[in-house]
Structure 1
Amino acid sequence: MTILFPISLFGAIVCIFLWLRDIRIWARSGLPGYRNAAKKGVLQTALATAGAGIVWFWPDVSILGTGIVLLGLYLQGKEVREKIWTNEPAINRFFGSVPRNNSKR
C-alpha cells in the first residue's frame, strides 16, 4: 500500500459525500440542476471508488488510480447547479440544509 491509497480513499469519500448532499438538496428543493447532479453523481462516485480500488489492488499503477479519483472529483464540481444559498452559515451549506420548496413532503 502506498501513500496514495489514503489520499485516493479520502477523495472517494468526499465524492460520495458530495453526491449524497446533492441528493438531499434535490429531495428538499426539487431543483432540476441538483436532480441532474444527483443522477450524474452516481457515475462520478463509481469512477472515484473504482480509482481507489485500483490503488488498493494494483499499487504499481497507483498514479493512474489517483488520477481516476481526481477525474471523478473534477466532474463532480463541473455540474451546473442553481444558486440556493444567500447568507446561510457554513454548517448549513456543508450539510445541504435548504428550505423545502416541494409540496410532496
Structure 2
Amino acid sequence: MSFSTLRIRKAVSGLTAATALALGATVLAAPSASAVDSSGCTKNIKDQTLQVVQWDHADMHTGPGYSYKVKKSVFAGSDVRVYCTAYKKGTTWYYGKSGKTKGWMDTHAFF
C-alpha cells in the first residue's frame, strides 16, 4: 500500500468518526419535547410526568377529542409523560407517552 493511499484511508476514518460523534451529540442534546410528532399541540409543557387518577382507567386517543380512535387504556396509578396540551371543545387534552404508546388523554384522567 502506498503512502498516499494510507493517508487517504486515515483521513476518511477520522472524518467518519468525527461525523458519528457529532451526530450522536446532536441526538443527545435534542430536547425530548422535540420528539413530539403531533401537530395538534397548542402549548408545550416542560417534561412532566402525571399519574392517571380517573377511576380504573383512562383512554388514550389518536387525537385531541373523544371522536378519535382509542389507542390504549391506561390504568389508574400509571404514569404518563406529557409534552404538550391542546384545548378542544371545552376540554384540555394532554399529548403524552405511556409505555411505548403516544397519544392524547383528557384532563380528567389526571385531575
TM-score (norm 1): 0.27
Query: Higher helix proportion, which one?
Result: 1
Larger relative contact order (CA 8 Å, sep ≥ 6): 1
Q: Which has the larger radius of gyration?
A: 2
Query: Higher strand proportion, which one?
Result: 2
